[in-house]
């Protein structure tokens, strides 16, 4: 099950060559790493029109969409205007936590139409789903192999994105998370072949987002950064400062982003934080956790709770359960990100975790499982799944099924 040990963010984007030793608290040096991210960002006001020059003129383009919000906020119109006269086909209905059952329909359509370029117009779910479609179109076996077989993806149709929801970072990485309705499962896959050729980020498209989605996007961004930061110190000073800069920025802009009329700069900073939070830029040479994500994926798979919300539920309790492992970084976070300098070590850590949870509450996100009607049965099922898969997570691989139980029971 070694494949399952890789979250969406520890894939080929930033490979570490020095193995992370379980339970070795004495590691101090930065890890060796490899970094490459070929995605072209096109950022700013009025940039959607730029897709015309970026997509090869003679391509047969499949546009992929979610549920239709892009028709209400003008994004669809801008895309179609830019592609006027081009040979395009549309696929609608990629849902939140994109489902395999839906994506196979898109794959059939693309094959039938001879599509050779994909443009995802939407948030992380549409983009993730489109990455799967891109890899599946030329794949000859059962498309689900892409999730379960490490070596399945050997070619892919080129894809690009027009981002409408800052959150997942999928617009600038090589990962995707795909769900299967029939089995209530949700798994990540990675391939360097599914990096978007380009991603258009126009902050203006975010003005019409419902507050619940802004909140989930902020929480998602915050936790992405935490998964790469809140581990143990390896004296990676640049990465620490950059992660702290993203956490500070996300917290600073949150009140304005959640207001009735967010300004351009707020949403531009939000969009940049979301993309920079999961594009490998802050992952160089540092240990990573991803236990919060893997537990969160199960909550979504079983109960369709929004991804960012699941992270806000899990993270505070994970920090409580793993506080000894994360002791030094929790203190650094308390001081540098939250400005907590009073009290002894343990009380500063208490404060830092409490304020992290309060931050999620400030976004209007409830952080108890009972708030979502989730109880002990779900805890038992998730622990059963982790035990069956032999999956352990965390920067020291010590978030065992027992720890998962403790984390989730604290969140009940």
**Using CB under 8 A as the criterion, which residues of the chain lie in contact with a copy of itself when the complex forms?**
17-18, 28-47, 234-242, 244-246, 248-249, 252-253, 264-265, 268-269, 272-273, 276, 281, 284-285
Closer to a copy of itself by CB, 37 or 387: give it. 37
The residue (of 29 and 304) whose beta carbon lies closer to a copy of itself is 29
Q: Are strands 159-163 and 198-201 parallel, antiparallel or unpaired?
A: parallel
Measured distance CA(290)–CA(393) in Å, rounded: 7
Identify which of residues 44 and 93 has a Cβ nearer to a copy of itself in the complex.
44
Taking the C-alpha atoms of residue 383 and residue 78, their distance in angstroms, rounded to an integer, is: 46
CA gap 298, 389 in Å, rounded: 13
Question: Could you tell me if 94 and 106 are in contact, meaning their C-beta atoms sit under 8 angstroms apart?
Answer: yes
Q: Give the count of beta carbons closer than 10 Å to the beta carbon of residue 375.
A: 11
- CB of residue 284 vs a copy of itself: minimum separation in angstroms? 7
CB-count exposure of residue 373 (10 Å: 0-12, 13-18, 19+)? exposed
CB of 248 to a copy of itself, least distance (A): 6
- CA gap 245, 360 in Å, rounded: 18
The CB-of-16 to a copy of itself minimum distance in angstroms stands at: 9
Nearer to a copy of itself, 181 or 237 (CB): 237
- Name which of 54 and 409 has its Cβ closer to a copy of itself: 54
Q: In degrees, to the nearest 5, what angle opens at C-alpha 23 toward C-alphas 22 and 24?
A: 95
Nearest 5°: the CA angle 113, 115, 121 is 115
Q: Beta strand pairing status for 175-180 and 159-163?
A: unpaired
CB of 350 to a copy of itself, least distance (A): 26
In the bound state with a copy of itself, the residue whose beta carbon lies nearer, of 284 and 330, is: 284
CA angle 265, 271, 276 (to 5 degrees): 120
Least distance from a copy of itself to the Cβ atom of residue 174, Å? 13
Q: Which is nearer to a copy of itself, 76 or 281 (CB)?
A: 281
Q: In angstroms, what is the minimal distance from the CB of 355 to a copy of itself? A: 19
Q: How far is the CB of 142 from a copy of itself (least distance, A)?
A: 32
């Amino acid at each position: 099950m070694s494949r399952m040990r890789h979250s969406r963010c520890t894939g080929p984007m930033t490979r570490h060559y020095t193995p992370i030793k379980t339970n070795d608290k004495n590691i101090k040096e930065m890890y060796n790493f490899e970094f490459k991210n070929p995605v072209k960002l096109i950022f700013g006001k009025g940039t959607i029109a730029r897709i015309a020059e970026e997509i090869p003129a003679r391509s047969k383009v499949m546009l992929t969409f979610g549920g239709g919000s892009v028709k209400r906020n003008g994004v669809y119109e801008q895309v179609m205007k830019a592609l006027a006269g081009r040979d395009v086909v549309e696929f609608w209905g990629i849902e939140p936590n994109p489902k395999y059952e839906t994506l196979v329909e898109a794959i059939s359509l693309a094959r039938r139409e001879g599509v050779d370029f994909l443009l995802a117009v939407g948030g992380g779910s549409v983009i993730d789903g489109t990455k799967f479609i891109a890899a599946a179109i030329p794949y000859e076996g059962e498309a689900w192999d892409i999730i379960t077989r490490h070596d399945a993806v050997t070619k892919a149709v080129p894809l690009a994105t027009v981002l409408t929801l800052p959150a997942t970072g999928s617009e600038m990485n090589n990962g995707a998370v795909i769900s299967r309705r029939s089995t209530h499962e949700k798994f990540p896959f990675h391939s360097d072949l599914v990096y978007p050729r380009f991603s258009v980020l126009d902050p203006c498209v975010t003005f019409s987002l419902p507050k619940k989605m802004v909140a989930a996007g902020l929480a998602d961004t915050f936790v992405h950064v935490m998964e790469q930061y809140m581990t143990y110190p390896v004296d990676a000073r640049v990465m620490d400062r950059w992660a702290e800069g993203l956490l500070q920025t996300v917290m600073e802009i949150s009140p304005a982003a959640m207001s009735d009329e967010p300004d351009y700069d707020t949403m531009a900073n939000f969009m940049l934080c979301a993309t920079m939070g999961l594009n490998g830029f802050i992952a160089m040479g540092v240990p990573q956790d991803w236990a919060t994500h893997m537990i969160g994926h199960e909550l979504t798979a079983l109960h369709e709770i929004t991804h960012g919300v699941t992270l806000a539920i899990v993270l505070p309790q994970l920090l409580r359960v793993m506080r000894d492992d994360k002791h030094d970084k929790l203190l650094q976070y308390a001081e540098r990100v939250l400005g907590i300098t009073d009290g002894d070590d343990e009380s500063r850590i208490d404060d830092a975790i409490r304020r992290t949870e309060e931050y999620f509450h400030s976004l209007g996100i409830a952080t108890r499982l009972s708030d979502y009607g989730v109880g002990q049965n779900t805890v038992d099922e998730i622990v059963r799944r982790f035990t069956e898969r032999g999956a352990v997570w965390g920067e020291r691989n010590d978030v065992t099924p027992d720890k998962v139980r403790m984390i989730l029971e604290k969140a009940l």
